Amino acid sequence: MKYVQNPHDLKSWIQEARDLVQAEIPPNEVEWVPSEELYLELENPTPLSDKPSIYEVPKAFLILAETVACHRNPEKWALLYCILWKLIFKDKHLLQVGLDESVRTCQVMIKQVRRDCHKMKAFVRFRALSVAENSAEKHYVSWYEPEHLIVQRMAPFFQKRFTQMRWSILTPDECMHWNGKKLFFSNGASKVDAPEGDDYENLWLTYYQNTFNAARLKVKAMQTEMPKKYWKNLPEATLIESLIEKGQAMDISRKFDAH
């Protein structure tokens, strides 16, 4: 068995996988191990090959791998290697047909990563801090907990949208910052690092409760799209319980009227 340390990003995985393929080591003889479980120095690192890679993989594989690499499940590396192996040595149409077990698992992971990205676009909430006393300039800071490793992937979206703002998004994995010109990343943070409260938050809550129509309660529909796990970082979620009660009260009085 060949033990390989889990790479920390796709680029190092590609390096590793290229060497493994060139040494023709099949997936069932490779074990991808988290670095903290690696007690022994690897005795047999894959000999680095200076030959250029002679194998071609479809571009679709790299696109797939980019998204899969954002998944939090570390088994993604072994899975990707398995697909790479099959693409090279077995079936180059594997991805197009889309029925292979590993490809399907990847597709599920991709769906989860994409959903997580979409939810991050939606549920990040910024709070404005004054940059200095008496300064009108604001620094918009958000605390967000993505399910997957998507911070870098999401950077362009926020950069293109909030170009003329100074902002930071803090997450447990890593943080990103934009100063109006440049984007940079720093180590993970914790919730206490993020500001509390904001001038507009009360107005937002006012809007949230008044745009709600108590005459049509559909709690399940809300939760499918906005599951409870997101509520802890959404200021408006503190109102949900009381709004549901309001809706239920209305429902009861209406039934009473109907009888």
Kindly list the residues in this chain that would bind another protein in the complex (CB under 8 A). 93, 96-99, 104, 118, 121-128, 138, 140, 142, 157, 159-165, 198, 200-204, 206-222, 225-226, 234, 236, 240, 243-244, 247, 251, 254-255, 257-259
Q: Provide, rounded to whole angstroms, the least separation between the CB of residue 66 and another protein.
A: 19
Query: Under DSSP, is residue 249 helix (H, G, I), strand (E, B) or coil?
Result: helix
Instruction: For another protein, give the closer residue by CB, 5 or 107.
Output: 107
Instruction: For another protein, give the closer residue by CB, 12 or 202.
Output: 202
Q: Provide, rounded to whole angstroms, the least separation between the CB of residue 185 and another protein.
A: 19
Instruction: For another protein, give the closer residue by CB, 3 or 208.
Output: 208
Q: Provide, rounded to whole angstroms, the least separation between the CB of residue 181 and another protein.
A: 11
4 token code pair: 């390989």
215 token code pair: 């005459």
Instruction: For another protein, give the closer residue by CB, 27 or 247.
Output: 247
User: How is 93-129 classified by DSSP, letter by letter?
Assistant: THHHH--SHHHHHHHHHHHHHHHHHHHHHHH---EEE
Q: Provide, rounded to whole angstroms, the least separation between the CB of residue 165 and another protein.
A: 6
152 token code pair: 């870098």
Instruction: For another protein, give the closer residue by CB, 33 or 250.
Output: 250
Q: Provide, rounded to whole angstroms, the least separation between the CB of residue 199 and another protein.
A: 8
7 touches 63 (CB < 8 A)? no
Instruction: For another protein, give the closer residue by CB, 11 or 216.
Output: 216
Instruction: For another protein, give the closer residue by CB, 2 or 138.
Output: 138
Q: Provide, rounded to whole angstroms, the least separation between the CB of residue 144 and another protein.
A: 10
* Per-residue burial over 210-226, b = 16 or more CB atoms within 10 Å of its CB, e = otherwise: eebeeeebeeeeeeeeb
Query: Among residues 76, 78, 70, 80, which one has the least CA distance to residue 173?
Result: 70
Q: Provide, rounded to whole angstroms, the least separation between the CB of residue 246 and another protein.
A: 9
Check residue 185 and give left, alpha or beta (phi > 0: left; psi -120 to 50: alpha). Answer: beta
Residues 6+ apart with CB under 8 A from 94: 83, 86, 87, 100, 103
| CA 243 to centroid of chain Cα atoms | 30
* Cross-strand bridge partners of residue 25: none
Query: What distance, in Å, lies between the first and last C-alpha atoms of the chain?
Result: 74
